[in-house]
Amino acid sequence: MKRIPKGEGQTGIAPKTKSIRAAFEKGMNVLFFLCGAVAVLFVLFISVYLIVSGIPAIREIGLADFLFGQVWKSTAKEPQFGILPFILTSVYGTAGAIVVGVPIGFLTAVYLSKAASPKIAAVIRTAVELLSGIPSVVYGLIGMTILVPAIRTAFGLSSGATLLAAIVVLAIMVLPYIISVSETALCAVPKEYEEGSLALGATEMETYFRVSVPAASSGIAAAVVLGVGRAIGEAMAVMMVAGNVANMPSLLESVRFLTTAVASEMSYSAGLQRQALFSIALVLFLFIMMINAVLAILLKKGKKS
């Protein structure tokens, strides 16, 4: 028997091992691609599904009557499908949440990123993280049992389930997003800018508000837009505190949002009513898409500068 030299044996095996490895690499690559494709497919599927199922009702009702009709009576003998009350409620509710939530969130972010001592900052940051983890039904529950009665007493109303209650709850719900995104933007401001300002004899507050905040402005704007997206898409909490009546919005009236309009009637809807609910979902979907587009533009702008 001829002895095979060690070296030859090894080189004989090597190419085979390599091809197995290459196949494995390729296989993993395909797997990763498929996983990534799942997200894309779902977005495409949902978009197409919403468009296909949302358009028939709009055709039948008429786009103008649907979007600008002020009366929603989906179960009446002569049903009316005007969703202007829902659109305006969603817009006002979101705007209100932003007006209340942004100043608080923004100042918290400035405080956390610039002024707070590390210990205090750690406590606040943990609280903010927990706040974002609380399920929306819990916000709704607490709003229902504490906020709604308080508003009823304060304004002498028959019911405290109002747009105002929804605004307060939404403002608290968007806080963590506004805080954490603006804080990230503020922390990314190069220290050199702040040093330059301090070296000119500016105080710390002057430095934060005249150098750091403008330098982080696109990130802060992104935080606000993210907050808008969260607020407009929220359903459960607002359903529990806003009274869920299809009124034209007013601060101290019960109102119904786009999200809650879909959620509250879906279980017993049929025919045109059911189709109209899909159309509402489509309108909501378009709102969110618009907000995401703005967000993407802002983030891109922030990266450039």
Q: Quick one: how far is CA 118 from the chain centroid?
A: 29
Count of residues in the chain = 305
Q: Which member of 23, 28, 70, 195 binds other proteins (CB under 8 A)?
A: 195
Listed in sequence order, the residues at least 6 apart from 25 whose beta carbon sits closer than 8 Å to its beta carbon are none
Q: Which member of 35, 76, 199, 270 binds other proteins (CB under 8 A)?
A: 199
Q: Which member of 12, 36, 103, 214 binds other proteins (CB under 8 A)?
A: 214
Helix (H/G/I), strand (E/B), else coil: 255? strand
Contact (Cβ atoms closer than 8 angstroms) between residue 254 and residue 161: yes
By CB under 8 A, the count of residues binding other proteins is 18
Listed in sequence order, the residues at least 6 apart from 170 whose beta carbon sits closer than 8 Å to its beta carbon are 93, 94, 96, 97, 101, 231, 234, 237, 238
Nearer to other proteins, 2 or 119 (CB): 119
Which residue in this structure is represented by tokens 């607490």? Answer: 142
Q: Which member of 9, 103, 190, 271 binds other proteins (CB under 8 A)?
A: 190
Q: Does 115 bind other proteins (CB under 8 A)?
A: no
CB of residue 178 to other proteins, shortest distance in Å: 22
Q: Which member of 200, 286, 290, 293 binds other proteins (CB under 8 A)?
A: 200
CB of residue 248 to other proteins, shortest distance in Å: 45
Q: Which member of 125, 193, 244, 294 binds other proteins (CB under 8 A)?
A: 193
Q: Would you tell me the crossing angle of helices 258-265 and 217-233 to the nearest 10 degrees?
A: 30
CB of residue 116 to other proteins, shortest distance in Å: 14
Contact (Cβ atoms closer than 8 angstroms) between residue 231 and residue 241: no
CB of residue 123 to other proteins, shortest distance in Å: 19
List contacts with other proteins (CB under 8 A).
Answer: 190, 192-193, 195-203, 206, 210-211, 214-215, 305
